[in-house]
Structure 1
């Protein structure tokens, strides 16, 4: 069954068909570089690039049609769907896809752990029925409607990630998604450059409750200091059921113990006083905690919660969030943990703890390669310097830093743990390459804007 026929897309968007109009689309794309045969290409106009300039290239690459708000030069006679505004057209497609769907839907937000929780939900639910989920971190004003527009009409479950760094961003997204279950992983001091307090961040995350379907469920972190604030907001929005997870004695899903191994994490928990043990195929205590939310959400969606927990053994880390790589060096190998996708004080400490759980070779070292954590506001310098305590507590042998904010950490480190420092990731990469020895374990992490993925690339290209 096709994802969209020409007539369905026209009805959804209120647009006008031009050129051949018998097309059927199996996918939706906004990037002509990655368009697949059978896609409907949506020509979004951004501040730097206008998708209308790539309509012909997209169709030559196999797109069956293009959604446009003007006919690009040289595109007369091509299969087009003309609308007043392509961003509004994309949103209309997403809303129509949601309206026709019978899927049970979960939306995930939180200061950290959104993407990992979304990916765990996909692994947990897929064995129990056709499951759709947003790829990567498609969690913003274009990523959410695009993920909705890609949702097949006949899936049983669907999972969406909702992000924000300003107040008011989640409300329009969740009203498009209309989830039956809303998960808030945690509330932390992230994006403080745009908020006056962590309480304001909690209120922004609580916007997710504005779109929960009648009879829906909120899944909240019972250990978080802002739990009561979120609970109050959920009830005020009319959420009928609230489930909690954490180590707190009153949590509906209570973590009793977890064993963090180099390749996986073993969890022992109580779910409504019923014990359950299971394995997650990635390493880290934070995965164990968020897995409790996954199991609760799966049950609230109508899935078998125990089977969902058991399925988590098949979990693999998302790109840049704990991926493991073997580095081939003269005289042997080293291991690299790629945590380069993003960073905050909370996720940085979790990554340091994960690095500490990996045993290096005999006489080798644990090396943390860290880039700036961005959008932390006035307290940024102190938050960077404060990582020195965690690095010492977890006995990290060497630390390398990139960026002006991480210079505060460098100054706070004991001299014997200073590996290398540089102004940016490009300058640090060759220094790290010369520093790593066989048997070492290297963890690379930083905010997306610090571009620590370039260090990862340099280490991999040296293989």
Structure 2
């Protein structure tokens, strides 16, 4: 990307519809809403969050070298001449306006991704593939909500060739305004699953909410849908009644436009054979798991539609790695030998939990080693939550799991349904389960940890790594 400021100081006055106090900066190099990650020269937006108000951190942002801060009129008097300030009526809408301006000045191709499972990994795979041929801008982490999407847009340089945006939701109607800002040429729905059932009447309503992503498509754009989903027909209907001109599908289904034909797990990922738009494609995916291989097919459809060579795009998928909390594998040395840790600790729902258990079941193990699942509660499932936890028993059985450690009152439903030989231990919290888990793990074991963020399985993964010597990446 070209050198120079992300936004000129004078341009920001109009883009933000702001009045200025102090000297207008020549330009800003980035956009920040968090002083912990702010870099000198950034423009700081004082966003009001659920637990904090960015206005409380404006002074710290300026002290750290922010080029200026965006504050609201209600706080203007409190800051006096503290530094360069852009004063607006409301900070979040100002950030949204800047995001729309960034999208309006960018002439490249834009792809949006949503789904109950696999949004972030698909977005990251697209980033890896597209960046091989042009400047690519993508969401950081899981910045997929009402502030994350406009923030990602506002950070997008003008000369970006490819933009990739992750879009999430907890309630119906949340995707529509976000995708209206992004205006993608290509929209992907990775899968529709029983997630956030506390806020929906059923999976069909979730499909309707996910399909909102098609409403913001550039006229004549492409919708990419999971052909294996039970809600495929419903999701396709929404695509057909959207600005999309083209609809493509992926999956194992015989009629999928990108069809998975064979999958072999290897030590450094997966070997995949697929038929994509009538062409046989063989490639190495640098992360294991069928769910990731299926989403890689959506990536190839999007890359082809964005103008990339299909086989060249497939050849870059070996660079895709599972991230922390999303299937990253490590070999942990115990002093008596190593065990394998699969970190699936970033959130959970029934679909992603089954996918994680499938991944555990696909791992190689020795004759005396075991597959151990450490599972925390899945949240926001409403009245169906107890049954959905008990229903995981089939996945535990089918994947030849040897031992289950369960955390939380909901996961007790699964634990009590297991035969005694599979019951490791149950505890109310991850901290309480740790000691017993540490004592049980043996060299050669494969340990997979997963649960909703509220179950705090991430700190348990960290404890496993620090309990023993430094891990060696698998």
Q: Which TM-score applies when normalising by structure 2? A: 0.95
Q: Partner residue of 1:143? A: 148
* 2:339 is the counterpart of 1:338: no
**3-state SS of 1:317 partner:** coil
Number of aligned residues? 463
1:166-245 aligned at under 5 Å gives the runs 166-245=171-250
Aligned partners of 1:409 and 1:318: how far apart in 2? 27
Bigger shift: 426-435 or 380-389?
426-435
Moved over 6 A (4+): none
Q: Partner residue of 1:48? A: 51
**3-state SS of 1:128 partner:** coil
CA deviation after TM superposition for structure 1 residue 327, in Å: 2.0
Q: Is the 8 A contact 1:165 1:194 kept in 2?
A: yes
Aligned partners of 1:76 and 1:262: how far apart in 2? 59
Aligned partners of 1:162 and 1:190: how far apart in 2? 15
Cα deviation digits, residues 126-149 of structure 1 (max 9, x gap)? 101000000111110001000101
Aligned partners of 1:347 and 1:364: how far apart in 2? 25
* 2:441 is the counterpart of 1:431: no
Aligned partners of 1:97 and 1:277: how far apart in 2? 37
Aligned partner (choices 9, 21, 29) of residue 18 of structure 1: 21
Cα deviation digits, residues 355-393 of structure 1 (max 9, x gap)? 122223452211110000111122111111111221111
Tell me, which stretches of 5 or more residues in structure 1 are unaligned?
A: none
Aligned partners of 1:75 and 1:120: how far apart in 2? 46
Aligned partners of 1:152 and 1:431: how far apart in 2? 50
* 2:274 is the counterpart of 1:274: no
Q: Is the 8 A contact 2:31 2:45 kept in 1?
A: yes
Aligned partner (choices 451, 455, 461) of residue 456 of structure 1: 461
Aligned partner (choices 94, 102, 124) of residue 129 of structure 2: 124
What's the RMSD between the two structures over aligned residues?
1.4
CA deviation after TM superposition for structure 1 residue 112, in Å: 0.8
Aligned partners of 2:312 and 2:246: how far apart in 1? 22
CA deviation after TM superposition for structure 1 residue 332, in Å: 2.1
Bigger shift: 279-288 or 436-445?
436-445
Aligned partner (choices 102, 105, 111) of residue 106 of structure 1: 111
Aligned partners of 1:457 and 1:88: how far apart in 2? 38
Tell me, which stretches of 5 or more residues in structure 2 are unaligned?
A: 469-474
Cα deviation digits, residues 263-306 of structure 1 (max 9, x gap)? 20111111122111011100101111011100001111222222
CA deviation after TM superposition for structure 1 residue 328, in Å: 2.6
Aligned partner (choices 8, 21, 46) of residue 11 of structure 2: 8
Q: Is the 8 A contact 1:261 1:357 kept in 2?
A: no
CA deviation after TM superposition for structure 1 residue 75, in Å: 5.7
